[in-house]
Amino acid sequence: MAVTDQGGGRLVLEPPQTPPDFLGTLAACEALSNWNDEEVLITLRRQHWQAVEPELLARGAAQVLDDDWLAVFPELLWQLPDLWLPQGRHSFPQIMVPGPQGQHPLRPAKPSGTLYHRNIPWLDQVFSIRTLDAGMDLGLFNRWMNDERVAAFFEESGTLDYHRDYLARMAADPHMMPVLGCLDGRPFCYFELYWARENRIGAHFEAGAWDRGWHVLVGDEHTRGADYITAWLPSLMHFMFLAEPRTQALVGEPAASHTQQLRNLTRSGFAKVKEFDFAHKRAVLVRLERDYFFKSRLWARPNPADPGRPLSLSLSAQLTTGVAQ
């Protein structure tokens, strides 16, 4: 597929030589919107995209501009699960049940395997999220938790038996889900995802029924720094919003003294709501709204080669990655 830049942030995506398919079209548009230019608008000549126009419109991937043109708005495109959730997305019925902070929805069974993948063009690697396997990953988890730097803020160092029990408690708790972040299949960080209503944070604010939160540790010292944070942090947020369309906000409770983490979070779109006290720390409640994440295109990163324009040089490679996974 070729791209024509019409100026003013408007790009024209030309069709391939063979009839375009839905996933290939989405992948092309993903590649063009991986870089941060809030004004970019991807347009398609309707006469060339008739084969996929009905599905693009029905799924919300495109909107009609006029008789000749369709427009793909990235803030809509990136809410579709097709490219990023290999297991798809299933609607789980809502029924409220009692909980520690009042009623909350009955939670669906926790999935297993690879949950999310996304090509990261500035790393030339695929970031993925998979569930932690307590049998296979126990040694790695134990090593990371006993790392001096990690233990200083996570405070869960211990023996293999201690961490085996820790993960067993996680597995038995329907509001918690331990997962690993990977680059090209190699784990480098650990996330604990939780539903806010049932979590200790839910006692400190009025959490929405599907609000979600997270804890993180980066275990691989070689994957720290801005290039990696701008890959895994917005991708994790993207996953949590994609996995449950009823999730309207994501929250966190970093230590008030952890200035670097707070700086990273505010740069990534989180708002500081308030400071409050847990038994073990002074914390800051941070919050990211779904609407703001997608409208501000917070998954994207400025293009270092040309900060004001989207990058399309490696489009064919990104298309191959996006469709094949």
Active-site residue set: 253
Tokens read off for 22: 């839905």
Distance CA 156, CA 138 (A): 14
Pairing of strands 3-5, 10-13: antiparallel
Q: Which of 318, 315, 235 is nearest to 11 (CA)?
A: 315
Tokens read off for 323: 């469709």
Distance CA 319, CA 163 (A): 40
Distance CA 319, CA 325 (A): 10
The residue assigned the tokens 């890959």 is 231
Cβ–Cβ under 8 Å, residues 254 and 216: no
